[in-house]
Amino acid sequence: MRTREKKLAAVAGCLFAAVLFASSFRAEVTVTKTMKLNAVSASGLSAGIQTVLNVAEETDVHEEITEVLNEGVVQNNLPGYDWNEMAMSNVEDSVNMRLEPSEEAELVGKFPKGAFGVIVDGTEGWTKLSSGSVEGWVSDDFLLFGVDAEARAQELGSYQATVNTEALRIRKEPSEDAEIYDLAEMGSVYRVAEQQEGWVGIQLDSSVGYVSSEYVRVEFHLETAMSMEEIRAEEERRALEEAQKAKEAEEKKRKEAEEKAANSSDVAVLAALVQLEAGGESYEGKLAVASVVMNRVRSGSYPNSVSGVVYQSGQFPPASGARMAALVSGGAGADCVKAAKQAIGGVSNVGNLTHFRAAGLGGSLVIGNHAFY
């Protein structure tokens, strides 16, 4: 046997012995780590050895062996992540995490797209992961391991910069002389757009700002699982946020209507009627009368303007008198004007009610001396 072939045979023998050793050791380690994490199986390695043995004499032995051994080996190019011990989600949205390795088991959380977890245990078709605050079982159908997990992490993850000083200057260019965009607060987190010597480019909406790398901690970030409690809390937070936005939008709309009304005769006419119908009432009583008028304006069963409703024949008798004209031109009391503006802006303390009469005659709602119905 020629020298090179002898070397190849010797190396193959060593490799084969290593495979036998790994096989004998298999019972001592978890199923997950032997079956899922090692991207190079015993059969694959044996096939690789055979490839080495068949290499032509002129082929470099070291390069061939290195190529065989490196095939499918996790490189762990992301600091802090060991893909021999971790898995990535392989879903478009999220996959359930369960208390036991069964489709019928209780849900303990969700494992979203782009999330990673540390492998805790494994059994046929299932892997137990620790991710975020959750520890639970996930079906292997929705997971990636080893080199596949590493590739997905590099695809979906991102670097984030956390500010570790007070009032960090965010500049428009990576230079101490560049114009300042804004100041970043301690603990603020930004997505990293680029890194240069001494500078980190951070994403600011549609633009990129630059901060000194000395004052930020840059780490690779991947999503983690959320527990069912965290999911419910997040849903409640979003619901409250949406409700607040809706409330703010309604308030803005109301104020705009008030401001618009303040520049028209509607406020003067409605305030004058309120003065005549409820001048001696509390503010709630004044607002209630103004609300009735505006409910009629919006109902579709009455004229669609303040003046049309107020002056409609037979509806509000005081509106036809001389005092009404005087109040319109001279101005009603401050509370009456305020009630008119609020009602025009959409505020109502009588719901959709469109009538009122003396309290003694009864109605759905009584405020002061009036019953509303």
pTM of the model: 0.49
**Given this model, what pLDDT does residue 71 score?**
53
Beta bridge partners of 211: 200
pLDDT mean for each 10 residues of the chain (373 residues): 40 46 42 44 48 50 52 69 94 96 96 96 96 96 95 92 94 94 93 93 92 94 94 93 91 71 76 94 96 94 92 91 89 92 92 93 92 94
**Given this model, what pLDDT does residue 15 score?**
47
**Given this model, what pLDDT does residue 308 score?**
92
Neighbour tally for 203: CB within 10 Å? 16
The count of C-alpha atoms lying within 13 angstroms of the C-alpha of 52, restricted to the half-sphere facing its C-beta, is 29
Helix segments in the chain, DSSP class H: 3-25, 31-32, 42-53, 61-70, 146-156, 228-262, 266-278, 283-299, 306-310, 322-330, 334-344
For residue 72, give both structure tokens. Answer: 């499918």
d(CA 54, CA 48): 10
For residue 39, give both structure tokens. Answer: 């991207």
For residue 67, give both structure tokens. Answer: 């190529």
d(CA 362, CA 364): 7
* Beta strands 126-131 and 158-163, pairing class: unpaired
* Beta strands 107-112 and 356-358, pairing class: unpaired
